Chains A and B, each alone.
Chain A
Amino acid sequence: MEDTQVRDKIRNNSAQKKHISDKVMPNFFLLMASLSVLTTLGIVIILVTDASKFFSAVPLTEVFSTELAPLRKDPSFGILPLISGTIITTLIAMLVAVPVGLAAAIYLSQFASDKLRRVFKPMMEVLAGIPTIVYGFFAYSFVTPLLMKIIPSLQAKNALSPGLVMGIMIIPMVASLSEDAMNSVPEIIREGSLGLGATKLETAFKVIIPGAISGIMASIVLALSRAIGETMIVTIASGSSKNFTLDITQSMQTMTAYIVEFTSGDAGSGTLGYYSLYAVGLILFIFTLGINLLAQYISRKYREVY
């Protein structure tokens, strides 16, 4: 408390010989800072206004139907194929990323020596820094042909291969965030458990993971949001068929891939197809925003634990 008083006095003293810059700069910085809020507002306004044009023209029964054919002469705009495509690829990705990512996190935080950790962690960071377009190329030109040898009925564009590659892409995120959570469980607790004769494995599962559970959950939820919003891998490797199916060997389209496909095609501004982009964008935004807020809520709760 005392030092803030001293600082206030100094501040008041120097206020007597204030330069113009001290009046201008705070306002300048505030202006710059408010631009980020403006960006968010801009996103919301744009999505809502243009999506409302779509929703007012297309009846809700059609929106929640399974037929999506925006470029047909008599177009139909059922978004369920996009939602199912998104959920399926995301699910495949999570099935890869969560077990492998958590196992890697447990290994790095509990079992690995310092030396190994110093080798593995930067390598994982490299994995996380690779652009998604590169993963897309990898999925299409390497993973799909490989899977075709195992599953002959697999189509060249399918949901399985981009789902798997997306999972691999997210592993570092789950691993490093979960590892951070595990490392922030106090060392005393860990040593207490080991001192009582528990093995490292028992310590990890019965002491560390319960202690870090909110952080781990937050990492999984964030990974989920990342998978839903991921674009280039699915655009390249899962194709553009608007199938409403559970068959992962088939081509499917996700919400993000629809936006990319439709803008790179010639959707004239002002058409219903053009506004459908914003409707899909709005749904995607609401999905990911909800998930991110959930993750923030979980990790805020977690901070109170220790």
Chain B
Amino acid sequence: MISRPKFMIDSQRISNRIRLNNALNYLFSLSTVFSILVLGVLLYQVGLDSMGWLDGQFLTSNLSIFPEKAGIYGAIIGTILMMLIVIPVTIILGVSTAIYLEEYAQKGRLQYLINVNISNLASVPSVIFGLLGLTVFGRLMNLGSSILAGGLTMSLLVLPIVVVAAQEAIRAVPDFLREASYAMGADKWTTVRKVILPVAIPGILTGTILAMSRAIGETAPLVVLGIPTLIMRIPTSVMDDFTVLPIQIYYWTLDAVLKPEYANLAAATIVVLLVILFLMNSVAVIIRNKFQQRF
């Protein structure tokens, strides 16, 4: 009989190590599955609560004291009007800032300062933007809780997202394109406008859409701005008071203590909000995949 080689004596230890490895592999995978599972439960619960409440009437009617007749038409219009301010303001501010930082700024103090400032701004809690909006737009500029005040507040909140995305997109434009443009005798602005921006647009667009979906879902700054509880009148201009989908969800969730039906209304509004966000994100992914240029 051949004697077992000495190193095989440790086989017990090795199998223990492997067993531990497998056990924790299982545990870690459970952790991952857990977070996905929560997403499933959340969607299922919201879907269940909204059952029977989400219909054409809900989308096209205004608020009502009777839950059965209440709808989110006002909130949809309010969301659209607010985005009509947020979109141009953030694109102009965000893309300009990115162009300045990437193309014009000299490497130095100022560029560093603006960059650090933007990354810090990105992590300032959104309620604080609400206080900024309340003070500057609401009181100092006398815009109250109008669509204009809300839109401007939201624009500042999501600005860092657009700037960072646009910076990355512009940085990804290869240098030889710039050099080719200069070699043809083009000046800097022409190069930016005709060479860099067209190449960077898919990246900028993707980032902008993500920023917009953040703006559509954000609640706290608008509540701080003092968006009123009940808007019975549909807003027609940017100076009107307004409400948006998340605010509607907020008040209906609070009201659910009084009448359980309000929870159903909140859930139905959540479904609408999530569908909008899902569609926006899909568009962002499609743009990213379709226009991704490789050099």
Contact between chains at B127 and A259 (CB < 8 Å): yes
Contact between chains at A142 and B182 (CB < 8 Å): no
Chain B residues 80 to 137 lying within 8 A of chain A, measured CB to CB, are: 92-93, 96-97, 99-101, 104-105, 113-114, 117-121, 123-132, 134-136
Interface residues on A, range: 35 or more
Residues of B within 8 A of A14 (CB): 182, 185-188
- Looking at A184-192, A198-206, A245-253, the stretch in contact with chain B turns out to be A198-206
Known contacts: A103-B32, A133-B246. The answer to whether A19 contacts B189 by CB under 8 A is yes
Contact between chains at A33 and B96 (CB < 8 Å): yes
**CB of A231 within 8 A of chain B?**
yes
Q: Once the chains are docked, how many angstroms separate the CA of A175 from the CA of B185?
A: 49
Interface residues on B, range: 35 or more
Contact between chains at A131 and B253 (CB < 8 Å): no
Contact between chains at B128 and A43 (CB < 8 Å): yes
Known contacts: A32-B93, A36-B114. The answer to whether A263 contacts B226 by CB under 8 A is yes
- Name the contact of B97 in the complex, choosing from A32, A142, A226, A285 (C-beta under 8 A): A32
Q: Once the chains are docked, how many angstroms separate the CA of A19 from the CA of B218?
A: 43
Q: Once the chains are docked, how many angstroms separate the CA of A182 from the CA of B169?
A: 25
Known contacts: A43-B124, A131-B273, A134-B274. The answer to whether A100 contacts B132 by CB under 8 A is no
- Name the contact of A21 in the complex, choosing from B18, B159, B189, B270 (C-beta under 8 A): B189
Consensus secondary structure, chain B interface? helix
**CB of B230 within 8 A of chain A?**
no
Chain A residues 263 to 306 lying within 8 A of chain B, measured CB to CB, are: 263-264, 269, 277-278, 281, 284-285, 288-289, 292-293, 296
**CB of A70 within 8 A of chain B?**
no
**CB of B139 within 8 A of chain A?**
yes
Chain A residues 165 to 203 lying within 8 A of chain B, measured CB to CB, are: 168, 171-172, 175, 199-202
- Name the contact of B213 in the complex, choosing from A28, A129, A138, A222 (C-beta under 8 A): A129
Residues of B within 8 A of A19 (CB): 187, 189
- Name the contact of A201 in the complex, choosing from B20, B49, B126, B190 (C-beta under 8 A): B20
Known contacts: A172-B35, A263-B223, A292-B123. The answer to whether A32 contacts B249 by CB under 8 A is no
Consensus secondary structure, chain A interface? helix
Give the residue among B36, B183, B185, B253 with the most A Cβ atoms within 10 A. B253
Residues of B within 8 A of A153 (CB): none
Chain A residues 71 to 94 lying within 8 A of chain B, measured CB to CB, are: none
Known contacts: A37-B117, A263-B226. The answer to whether A107 contacts B136 by CB under 8 A is no
* Least Cβ–Cβ distance between B64 and chain A, in angstroms: 21
- Looking at B23-31, B55-63, B195-203, the stretch in contact with chain A turns out to be B23-31
* Least Cβ–Cβ distance between A39 and chain B, in angstroms: 5
Contact between chains at B219 and A7 (CB < 8 Å): no
Q: Once the chains are docked, how many angstroms separate the CA of A226 from the CA of B28?
A: 24
Contact between chains at A260 and B220 (CB < 8 Å): yes
Q: Once the chains are docked, how many angstroms separate the CA of A222 from the CA of B189?
A: 38
Residues of B within 8 A of A22 (CB): 187-189
Contact between chains at B253 and A259 (CB < 8 Å): no
**CB of A151 within 8 A of chain B?**
no
Residues of B within 8 A of A120 (CB): 32, 36
Which residue of chain B is the closest to A205 with respect to CB atoms? Answer: B24
Contact between chains at A201 and B128 (CB < 8 Å): no
Chain B residues 128 to 169 lying within 8 A of chain A, measured CB to CB, are: 128-132, 134-136, 139, 156, 159-160, 163
* Least Cβ–Cβ distance between B2 and chain A, in angstroms: 24
Residues of B within 8 A of A13 (CB): 185
Contact between chains at A202 and B121 (CB < 8 Å): no
Known contacts: A104-B28, A131-B219. The answer to whether A39 contacts B132 by CB under 8 A is yes
Contact between chains at A200 and B25 (CB < 8 Å): yes
Which residue of chain B is the closest to A99 with respect to CB atoms? Answer: B31
Contact between chains at A199 and B18 (CB < 8 Å): yes
- Name the contact of B132 in the complex, choosing from A43, A127, A136, A225 (C-beta under 8 A): A43
**CB of A111 within 8 A of chain B?**
yes
**CB of B238 within 8 A of chain A?**
no
- Looking at B37-45, B68-76, B287-295, the stretch in contact with chain A turns out to be B37-45
- Name the contact of A46 in the complex, choosing from B39, B117, B135, B188 (C-beta under 8 A): B135
Give the residue among B113, B175, B188 with the most A Cβ atoms within 10 A. B188
Known contacts: A42-B136, A138-B45. The answer to whether A127 contacts B38 by CB under 8 A is yes
Contact between chains at A37 and B17 (CB < 8 Å): no
* Least Cβ–Cβ distance between B174 and chain A, in angstroms: 12
Which residue of chain B is the closest to A288 with respect to CB atoms? Answer: B125
- Name the contact of A107 in the complex, choosing from B32, B192, B256 (C-beta under 8 A): B32
Residues of A within 8 A of B28 (CB): 103-104, 106-107, 111
**CB of B51 within 8 A of chain A?**
no
Q: Once the chains are docked, how many angstroms separate the CA of A59 from the CA of B114?
A: 37
**Sample (16) of A-B pairs whose CB atoms are under 8 Å apart:** A14-B182, A29-B96, A29-B99, A35-B97, A46-B132, A46-B136, A131-B216, A133-B249, A134-B274, A137-B46, A141-B45, A202-B21, A231-B219, A260-B224, A263-B226, A284-B127
Task: List the 3 closest pairs (A to B, CB-CB), nearest first.
Answer: A229-B125, A131-B217, A32-B96
